[in-house]
Amino acid sequence: MSKLMKAAQINGFGDRSVIELNNIEIPTPGADEVLIKVKSAAVNPVDWKIREGYLQGMLNHPLPLTLGWDVSGEVVALGDKVTQFKIDDAVYSRPEITKNGSFAEFMTVTATEVALKPTSLTWQEAAGVPLAGLTAWQSLYEITKLQKGERVLIHAGSGAVGQFAIQLAKLRGAYVYTTTSARNIELVLSLGADQAIDYHQEDFSELRDLDIVFDTIGGDTLDNSWVTLKPRGRLVSVASLPSEEVAAKHNVNAFYCFVQPNSEQLTEIAKLADAGKFKVNIDSEFTLDQTSQAHERSETGRAQGKIIVNVSA
């Protein structure tokens, strides 16, 4: 095997023009890591926010930086302390976001952040699950502790996180409202939403006595969500840090979710996928040398599912 690989990297922060396809050394796994031959990766909004430098104060990435933090692929090397995987295992992961990412032919990932890939999903579908799927899982199941029979409003239900959130909420037995555009109403209803709200024609803030609001947009959407909650209701945002002062004013609980790697949760999601209870929609596919175009698609905010970068699939 050659000691070099191709990787989509940035050497400085900025617009899509800073993305370069470089030849770099294949990394060697540490004692607690696996080396994954990347089949597919996925673009998420956090990718281009990192590329622009918006999150540098939080993440402090060294440069050059390989982008991409969703991966599916095959294990090709094991660290000395790794016992839960073997060579040729098909796996998927949302790796630690402070490290080099998955837009590369190979990447190292801490073994505790990796799970076996759902056998029923393609490499592309599997790559589209970890970050968005874990975001929905952690927001609804871990942070707000969604219960059967509760009423939840999921903003931007046709987005990747929103699509997974609808499905997870329905699996928990909730009644699901979701905001979307008219062209995506059929999509969100097919995923299990009970009521779709066309945000161009309807005002979601007229809803009342909701148990949970899951905000994926921030700004005015977050500001207008408080009134929809019942006393002691819960709001969780992945877009911005909700105001504790405003939450107290409305007598509700507010949370922020910044998704974390979790192999156990990925294993549970894989079980749901293999049982036919968890669908993955692909918006578009690109090659590694088209990473900038993949970012461009993500930046439009109009993707109807996951944006995939095929590396060796």
For 254-295, what is each residue's pLDDT tens digit?
999 999 999 999 999 999 999 999 999 999 999 999 999 999
Task: Please give the pLDDT value at position 313.
Answer: 64
| Mean of the per-residue pLDDT values of the chain | 97
Q: What is the mean pLDDT of residues 93-102?
A: 96
Q: What is the mean pLDDT of residues 294-303?
A: 93
Task: Please give the pLDDT value at position 145.
Answer: 98
Predicted confidence band at 304 (pLDDT cuts at 50, 70, 90)?
confident
For 8-51, what is each residue's pLDDT tens digit?
999 999 999 999 999 999 999 999 999 999 999 999 999 999 99
CA distance 53 to 50: 5
In angstroms, how far is CA 146 from the centroid of its own chain? 19
| Cα-trace Rg, the chain | 19
Residue indicated by tokens 């622009």: 52
Residue 283 carries which DSSP code?
A: E
Task: Please give the pLDDT value at position 3.
Answer: 92
Percentage of the chain beyond pLDDT 90 is: 98
Are the C-beta atoms of residues 75 and 109 closer than 8 Å to each other? no
Q: Give the containing element (helix H, strand E) for 170.
A: helix 160-171
Task: Please give the pLDDT value at position 301.
Answer: 87
Task: Please give the pLDDT value at position 100.
Answer: 96
For 202-233, what is each residue's pLDDT tens digit?
999 999 999 999 999 999 999 999 999 999 99
Amino acid residing at 224: N
Q: Is the dihedral of CA 66, 69, 75, 81 positive or negative?
A: positive
Domains of the chain: 4-129+280-310 (3.90.180.10), 132-256 (3.40.50.720)
In Å, how far are 27, 65, 99, 207, 304 from 104, measured between CA atoms? 11, 11, 13, 45, 25
Percentage of the chain beyond pLDDT 70 is: 99
Task: Please give the pLDDT value at position 89.
Answer: 98
Task: Please give the pLDDT value at position 1.
Answer: 60
